[in-house]
Chains A and B, each alone.
Chain A
Amino acid sequence: MKLFKKDYSKYTDEDLMRSYQEGDKVAFEHLYARYESFMINFFYRKLWSDRIKAEDFTHDLFTKIIDKPELFDLDRSFKTWLFSVANNMCKNEYKKQEIRKNTGYDVPEGMDAKDEEILPDTAVDKSSFAEELKKELEKMNEKHREVFMLRHFEGLSLNEIAETLDINAGTVKSRLHHATKTLAEKLAVFRNTMI
């Protein structure tokens, strides 16, 4: 019987999704294994480094796929579709938080980053480059931030980012360069201390 066992590792994401649409639950388990870490980190970074929220959103994302696999268009890339769904979930959450923020209740931690200028002498004292990178990202415009994060954190190519965000690839390139250059200039003070 082992001869007839499917080797799911050789399946593409789209093939696995097709199999799941046909009722193969094992195919979905393989899909989940491939993207669990990606998605929880994506949500973790996008949702103010809240681990519990990231797990909840990851759970919701995959349960949506379980309940309605027919929503996936087999002609599309599963990876970009998954990230676009996740990105939309984050945007919805931003809207909810914005409403709560306006009412003054339950403002999530890290939501309102302080708009302080990093002075060179104080900045060098901060050893954590990662923290400053987060802060600068939070200050950044949303459209630039999401492109930068998808490129550098999730490792998507420019075309994949363009498909995920449903924008032109040239626009992605422009935004990415702008974000990279801005962050590099602001965090340049760490270069001398870290080298």
Chain B
Amino acid sequence: MIKEAENIILNKEYFELSAEELATVSELVQNAEEFEEMKWFLASTQQALVSDKIEASPELKQRVMDHLNKPKDERKFWLNSVTVFLFPEDKKFYQKPAFQMSLAAILIIGFLLVYDQPMDENNMALNETPEFVQPSEEDATREVISTGEEGAGGEDLFGTVHTGTDEITELDEVEEEPAMEQSIVRNNNVKSIIVTEDDVADDIPHDGYYSGPTEELDAFDDVTVTETSGGSGNANKSNNTGGLNDQPGNAVTISTSVGTSDDKSPRKDRTEVDAEGKKKQKTADTKNNRFLAQESAPVLANEDANNVSNDEDEMESTTSKPDVAGNAVMDLEKKGEVLKEQKEETIRSYEIHVNESKELKALFGTFK
């Protein structure tokens, strides 16, 4: 137990202290004089405190006892105040906040229930202003149509469109076209017709105008067919195909240059281009269906690009595969039709790519 030095100092004289008490008080006082001073101070302090005391008023006790005798329910004053606020006695029922608040709640809930209908996709707005980024005149002439005879698992398709720094991968195209291509390959060494538009995409003007005419693509008379026969190399697509064209095996490439160099038509306005694009898209859809039907037919299996004789100077290289070359002669009209359809399909798919890239950019911009 801690001995309290103050009690010793107050109750005893210095000469009365025992050795133990002296040790205790030595923390406060060192000698008799200090002992007396401390004694005087402590006594004075107690006197001052006695004179400074106050008495509690009777009202204080009454208030505390009132609180003590209150029922517990009444002690929850804040709940009482809430009740008084919600149900004031001096107002009519429609003026009471509880009624008004419940009415507002019902209205809000009812509004949400009525107007919170499931989303109707048919009524959703469509972005019908695709930006046509079309190749220039020079680029249009370099459009390449390649027919490749690929080995098993030939997936040398364009799945990637390079437009400047953006790279958009069209998964649907990648999934659909290999199956199509493989079916053709299985049908007796038929060259799949692949339209690459990488060159077109690389040089796309980004001003929103389509400088290269699409109608010229239909002019098959101006098309120059180039046959390229790769002996043992990869598919001979000289253009960038996003790294998908490294399948081994022989390949025959027909490069077709579309003669658009004489096109002098002025740049078209975006609305005009949009209208044309829609029209072409419809045409391409119908043609595409026919093309797919033809592809699955064994007719194309007898096609051989080597039989297409071209004396044009633009022909870069010719590679003929002897076993394929002797199979059938491709009807030029038929082939031209197929090529046209293929081109339109390519344009359509490219437009889809561009639209999707725009939407993605807009979406990213929104997120940022």
Contacts and interface: CB of A to CB of B under 8 A. Distances in A.
Interface of A: 25, 28-29, 32, 36-37, 40-41, 44-45, 51, 54-55, 58-59, 62-63, 66-67, 129-130, 133, 151-153, 157-159, 169-170, 173, 176-177, 180-181, 183-184, 187-188, 190-191, 194-195
B232 interface: no
A51 B38 contact: no
B65 A29 contact: yes
A26 B62 CA distance: 14
Contact of B57 (A25, A55, A180): A55
Interface stretch (B1-9, B160-168, B359-367): B1-9
A54 B101 CA distance: 42
B38 A153 contact: no
A59 B40 CA distance: 36
Interface string B285-311: 000000000000000000000000000
Nearest to A190: B44
B2 A177 contact: no
Interface string B48-64: 11011111110111011
Given A40-B60, A55-B56, A55-B57, A184 B49 contact: no
Given A36-B60, A59-B63, A158-B4, A130 B48 contact: yes
A195 B40 CA distance: 9
A181 to B, nearest CB: 6
A153 B62 CA distance: 26
B72 to A, nearest CB: 9
A29 B45 contact: no
B176 to A, nearest CB: 72
The B interface is mostly helix, strand or loop, or mixed, namely helix
Contact of A59 (B37, B38, B41, B60): B60
B11 to A, nearest CB: 15
A160 B290 CA distance: 101
B2 A169 contact: yes
B17 interface: no
A152 B45 contact: yes
A44 B60 CA distance: 14
Contacts, number: 92
A41 B53 contact: yes
Contact of B41 (A37, A130, A170, A184): A184
Contact of A183 (B5, B41, B49, B61): B41
A37 B55 contact: yes
A170 B236 CA distance: 95
Nearest to B45: A152
Contacts of A66: 64, 67-68
Given A58-B56, A159-B2, A184-B38, 9 more contacts: A36-B56, A37-B53, A40-B54, A40-B56, A130-B51, A133-B45, A158-B2, A177-B27, A191-B41
Nearest to B2: A158
Contacts of B68: 25, 28-29, 66
Contacts of A176: 6
B75 interface: yes
B46 interface: yes
Contacts of B75: 67
Contacts of A159: 1-2
Contacts of A195: 40
Nearest to B27: A177
Contacts of A158: 2, 4
B265 interface: no
A157 B4 contact: yes
A184 B37 contact: yes
A122 B61 CA distance: 43
A126 to B, nearest CB: 13
A191 B27 contact: no
Contacts of B52: 45, 130
Nearest to B39: A184
Nearest to A28: B68
A63 B66 CA distance: 10
A60 to B, nearest CB: 10
A85 B5 CA distance: 27
Interface in B107-151: none
11 contacts: A25-B69, A29-B68, A36-B60, A37-B53, A45-B52, A55-B59, A59-B60, A177-B28, A181-B28, A181-B38, A191-B41
B28 A180 contact: yes
Given A29-B65, A54-B54, A153 B49 contact: yes
Given A130-B51, A177-B5, A32 B37 contact: no
B37 A151 contact: no
Nearest to A131: B48
Contacts of B60: 36, 40, 55, 58-59
B41 A63 contact: no
B28 A191 contact: no
Q: Which 10 A-B pairs have the closest CB atoms?
A: A130-B48, A184-B41, A40-B56, A62-B64, A158-B2, A63-B67, A55-B60, A36-B56, A66-B68, A177-B27
